[in-house]
Amino acid sequence: MDSEVSNGSGLRDEHITNLLVLDFLQSFSDCKFHQELRTLGQELPFQACLEVEREDELQTDGNRASLFMGRIEADSESQEEVIQNIARHLAQVGDEMDRSIQPGLVNDLVARFMNVRLSEEDRRNCLATTLKQMQTYPKDMENEKATLIMTMLLAKKVADHTPSLLRDVFHATVNFINQNLFTYVRDLVRNEMD
Q: Taking the chain, what is the end-to-end CA distance rounded to the nearest angstrom?
A: 16
Instruction: Tell me how far apart the alpha carbons of residues 11 and 132 are, in angstroms, rounded to a whole number.
Output: 30
* 3-state class (DSSP) for residue 164: helix
Q: Assess whether pLDDT exceeds 50 at residue 7.
A: no
What was the pLDDT predicted at 46? Answer: 57
CA distance 116 to 194: 43
Domains and CATH numbers, the chain: 3-193 (1.10.437)
Q: What is the pLDDT of residue 164?
A: 96
The answer to whether residue 86 scores a pLDDT higher than 90 is yes
Q: What angle do CA 83, 86, 90 make, to 5 degrees?
A: 140
Q: What is the DSSP-derived secondary structure letter of residue 165?
A: G
- Report yes or no: 14 and 26 within 8 Å, Cβ to Cβ: no
